[in-house]
A and B are shown apart, each in its own frame.
Chain A
Amino acid sequence: MIELQHVTKVFNRGKINEVRALEDVTLSIADGEFVVLVGANGSGKTTLLNMIAGAVIPNEGWVSLNGQEVTRLPEHKRSRWVARVFQNPLAGTAPELSILDNFRLASLRTGKKRLVIGINDQFRNTVRDKIAGLGLGLENKLQQPMGSLSGGQRQALTLLMSVMDHTDILLLDEPTAALDPRSAEVVMETARKIIADYRLTTMLITHNMRETLRFGNRIIHMAGGRVVHDIDAEAKKALKLEDVYGWFG
């Protein structure tokens, strides 16, 4: 459950380069809803996502997650509810740490990172099984540094990492933008499976119109920092590619 009440965000207020990124946005996203967020560059999509994650604090309005007000809670404290996958495949993983180390940290997203060695055979096997499920052949490369993998592999693993620990909300900011079509397909299929299996409340930003229609059960179109279209599951079924293109006229 994500709620935004009259949130406004202005960057560089009063300066010549002032940007009004969000203008009085009110939005409620129910548990298990999969929202696809579309809009031109600068329409406020990423600011909205960052505000839910805690990376951006609103100037006005408030944010709540699962019924708890979190407006001023910093990002690292919202990780209790929120998992993220970034546009840049490098941003969601630690390149010099091994795949296994990355997964270990991901499994502690909501917990304490204590002074004990947490990686044991049982943990290693759990991770190996999960990674084998991706079908990318990475299950035997657990000791390899994350940085040695391709962008697509890293994005797929980041998605898997997001469900290593309990999460309610998954934020995907153009997860396939930096990937080739084949890798993009693998990543989106992984996402679809994880979201369904764990019944995650999801927000996906994409510039890919086909993805927009294929995924999710609600579409939100933003322009100039406001929500201009909000299409529910029923209306989405009737929506055609031309309609979506029409929004960007």
Chain B
Amino acid sequence: MIFYLSALTMGLCLSAMGLGIYITMKIFRIPDITTDGSYTMGAAVTAVLLTQDWSLPAVIGITVAAGALAGVLTGLVHTRLKIDALLAGILVMTGLYSVNLTILGRSNVPLLNTTSVFSALSIFDKAIYNEVWVSLLFLILLGGLLSYMLRTDFGLAMRATGNSESMTRALGINNDHMKIIGLAIANALTALSGFLVAQYQHYTDINMGIGIVLVGLGSVLIGDALINWLGVQRIWLQLALIVAGCILFQLVLALALSLGVNPNMLKLVTAVFVLAIVGIPRLIRNTAS
């Protein structure tokens, strides 16, 4: 039970990143892999500030700002220098590795006797229940904000930008600005995942972000498959299904571990799992036609 609850919590913690990847991948159709860097950055900033006894609201604010900054950088490289989004993301992500190492000061910072969102908002006796409820609360707040934002006039402009750039240009929308803002929001969300995970697992490690974009991508693909399958139009429901995708993904990984898969093989399992999510529908389509 605890085993699956912790998978659920991990899924919820990573859902902020999932929502971010949903914005870049589904709304803007930009393959952004700054994620690996901004996720670790969120965790690194959190670890350093919490060990120096900063208040949680301040830590959240700085984490969001740091993630947004990473997104803006990728956005500027992509739009101003006309560099492919994938390459722009790799450049920033690679650079961030050194930045993150500098922030952390060493490769691993434990968070054992510091306050955390989970302890600060605890209402249950058992830690795992608090972790589930706090991460759920966090996600509901983020999802609510995001779904409101996407329904505003600004949000419509954002969604249209990824849909038809010729249209948005003709309607007075600066597509480049929109992409930069979109990448900033996405990476701020990703950094928040780093913030949550660092406190949940009680440490920040410089390598914790490696391959995390793949986890996010796979989760969003599952969520997107659910959205298409159920024909969901409402934004908040779409976001809820993305979160469901993130949780499902973690449950599958947990299942793999419980079946005795060597933890060292977890990245390979992740890659194969994402490959299966992407590949199997195509195989089915190819054989059908």
Residues of chain A having any CB pair with chain B under 8 Å: 53, 55, 75-77, 79-80, 82-84, 86, 90-98, 101-102, 104-106, 108-119, 143, 145
Contact = CB atoms under 8 A, between A and B. Distances in A.
Nearest to B160: A94
B164 A90 contact: yes
B70 to A, nearest CB: 23
A92 B157 CA distance: 14
B263 to A, nearest CB: 40
B164 A117 contact: no
Given A97-B159, A101-B156, A104-B156, A80 B164 contact: no
Interface residues of B, number: 24
B273 to A, nearest CB: 27
B199 interface: no
Contact of A116 (B152, B171, B174, B233): B152
A108 B171 CA distance: 7
B166 A79 contact: no
B269 interface: no
Interface string B151-194: 11111110110011011111111110000000000000000000
Contacts of A53: 170
Given A76-B169, A108-B153, A145-B233, 9 more contacts: A76-B172, A79-B170, A101-B160, A104-B156, A105-B167, A114-B154, A115-B155, A118-B153, A119-B151
Given A97-B160, A113-B157, A75 B149 contact: no
B153 A116 contact: yes
Interface in B28-48: none
Interface in B118-172: 148-149, 151-157, 159-160, 163-164, 166-172
26 contacts: A53-B170, A55-B169, A76-B172, A76-B174, A79-B169, A79-B171, A83-B170, A90-B164, A91-B166, A91-B167, A92-B167, A92-B170, A94-B164, A95-B163, A97-B160, A101-B156, A109-B172, A110-B172, A113-B154, A113-B173, A115-B153, A115-B155, A116-B153, A117-B148, A117-B153, A143-B233
